[in-house]
Amino acid sequence: MKRRIPQYSELRELVQFKAFDPDRRRARLAKANTVWDLRDIAKRRIPTAAFEYVDGGSFFEHSLRRNRAAFDDVEFNPRVLRDVSAVDLRAKIAGVDAALPVGIAPTGLTRLMHSEGEVAGAQAAGAFGIPFSLSTMGTVSIEEVAREAPDADKWFQLYLWKDRPRSLDLIRRAADAGFGALIVTVDTPVSGARHRDTRNGMTLPPTLTAKTILDASYRPEWWFNFLTTKPLGFANFEADRMSVAESVNTMFDPSLNLDDLAWLRENWSGKLIVKGIQSAADAVDVLARGADTLVVSNHGGRQLDRAPVPLKVLPEIRATVGPEAEIILDSGIMSGGDIVAAIAAGADFTLIGRVYLYGMMAGGRQGVERALEILRTEMTLVMQLIGVTSLSELEPALLRRSAHD
């Protein structure tokens, strides 16, 4: 073998260094190719208690793992020799024309994850043309979200309180602020046992102990933001210092029933979305009481352990309520491929909670936008690779379960 001295021109083409980006947040997020990468960044940058509040489930976390396993077990049945040069990801749900078949789910304690909080989520949603949901347990008020994200399609999520006049005040504030849909969460008559939160001493406001201070001390950006922004709390109502579970069990109503849903229908003129449906029978009941849209969900594995897995019960629910009923799916989604699978299995739309918060923890609004960019890219690629160009072409025939399922 004859050797030679390499030419400088050849080396110059091979050795190209990226220019230094002074925006270190942007540079950090650019390295994330998947939502799992964003999760890794979030875990490094956020105190353990806050990260595990997002990352964990209830009891022994069977539902959390099974939600994820259901998506992992899906196989696509691709079709080839199709023109997939242009893919249309647009969807219509609850009166919203969305650019993508995914919206941001309602999440509590969001400013604990990053000081930009729900405002960052709403602004990112607006930039991507998708709906944003604000939780009753949000850390930014209804009015502030409306003011800071005027162009976003906004939904308000309600936990119905025992104090009905206070609930009525909340939904009237949401209507006055231009929120187009009301999401009623019905799978939380009481809070599930979230053992990670108990071990971490999760309260609101956070209880600072020697352990939590030490844990936060080597995460300086989070610590600085926490100390130099307005105190963390539920922005839409007053609450005493207590654990998150105690907050739920003290304020919310375990006697919630179908008559209450009818009452909400009478008092809300916008779209009514019912979140937490896990059976075909309940789907039929809530549609009969005036719901416009269903969310098939087990609360991301954060309520009942060993709950039905939404992706698995979705086909039965769709077959029961028919093709015209609007169905959203959440719980377990971690990629654009998961969203494509959910639509093919019978959903019209999806919601993301953890994905949104991993992005938030990794980099505020920029992190949320990076998460949405990743999902959009993955959805487009998956649809091209299975031979479809629009959501209307996604159908159960494109899916099959792994042999070991």
Catalytic residues: 299
Distance separating alpha carbons of residues 197 and 177, to the nearest angstrom:
33
Separation between Cα atoms, residue 25 and residue 143, nearest integer Å:
29
Cis upstream peptide for 131 (omega within 30°): no
Evaluate whether 89 touches 130 at the Cβ level (below 8 Å): no
Nearest to 104 by CA among 295, 310, 387: 295
- For the chain, the helix, strand and coil percentages under 3-state DSSP, each to the nearest 5: 50, 15, 40
Listing DSSP states for 138-182 in one string gives -SS-HHHHHHH-TTS-EEEEEPPBSSHHHHHHHHHHHHHTT--EE
Q: Which residues, including other chains, have CB under 8 Å from residue 223's CB and lie 6 or more apart? A: 216, 217
Phi-psi region of 331 (alpha: psi -120 to 50; beta: other; left: phi over 0): left
Q: Which residues pair with 76 in a beta bridge?
A: 399
Residue 275 parent element (H or E): strand 271-277
Distance CA 197, CA 88 (A): 41
Enter the tokens of residue 250: 């003290």
Give the H/E segment covering residue 386. Answer: helix 354-386
List 401's β-bridge partners, or say none. 74
List 91's β-bridge partners, or say none. Answer: 98
Chain center to CA of 190: 21
Per-residue CA distances from 193 to 60, 63, 302, 390 (Å) = 9, 13, 8, 41
Count of residues for the chain? 405
d(CA 294, CA 94): 10
Residues 6 or more apart whose Cβ sits within 8 Å of residue 322:
none
